[in-house]
Amino acid sequence: MKQFIFFLIVLIVGVRAEANPGPAPVPAVANDATTALANAGAVRLQFNEIVTAQDHTDSVLVIFDRYDLTGAGVIYQRYAADAGQGIDISAVPAGKYYVTIKIRGMYSDEIEKVITIKSKKSEKVRVDLKTK
């Protein structure tokens, strides 16, 4: 038993002495605002019917999750529809996303879509709401 423990210790010390330290660590580069905007696109969510009356406005919660499951909640923000029954979202990083749209107000609906955002492009997505 003593020979086995001695052999194991010599093996560990020998491997440790021969091990390569590996590559030097690379310092993290701060994300530059210009590179973030260079790879960004925009999307307009166009609704068929949403209440935008002067006395009442439905709020819309929009959540962008990466399609390859590497980033959750890339955009997680509440919006209000404009007079044209839509929402403009700019500076969305290029890529494919699962988009969850939760509408609160007179329409209480939740819609999930897959959207592809291209760099320096503007996408328009039609969102059909269920009427009550």
- Comparison of pLDDT for 52 and 73, the residue scoring more: 73
pLDDT at 24: 55
pLDDT at 31: 47
Rounded CA gap, 64 and 76, in Å?
Answer: 7
Q: Which two tokens stand for residue 91?
A: 């500076």
pLDDT at 98: 92
Q: What count of other Cβ atoms lies within 10 Å of the Cβ of residue 74?
A: 16
Per residue in 75-114, pLDDT (tens digit) is 888 888 887 888 898 888 888 999 998 888 777 788 899 9
Q: Which strands form 40-47's sheet, in the order they lie side by side? A: 86-93, 40-47, 122-127
Full set of structural domains in the chain with CATH? 39-127 (2.60.40.10)
Q: What count of other Cβ atoms lies within 10 Å of the Cβ of residue 68?
A: 9
> In 3D, which of 50, 46, 38 has the Cα closest to residue 107?
50
pLDDT at residue 66 above 70?
Answer: yes
Helix (H, G, I), strand (E, B) or coil at 124: strand
pLDDT at 71: 76
pLDDT at 28: 45
Q: Say how many CA atoms lie within 13 Å of 37 toward its Cβ.
A: 4
Per residue in 8-63, pLDDT (tens digit) is 888 887 777 666 665 555 454 444 444 556 788 899 988 887 655 555 567 888 99
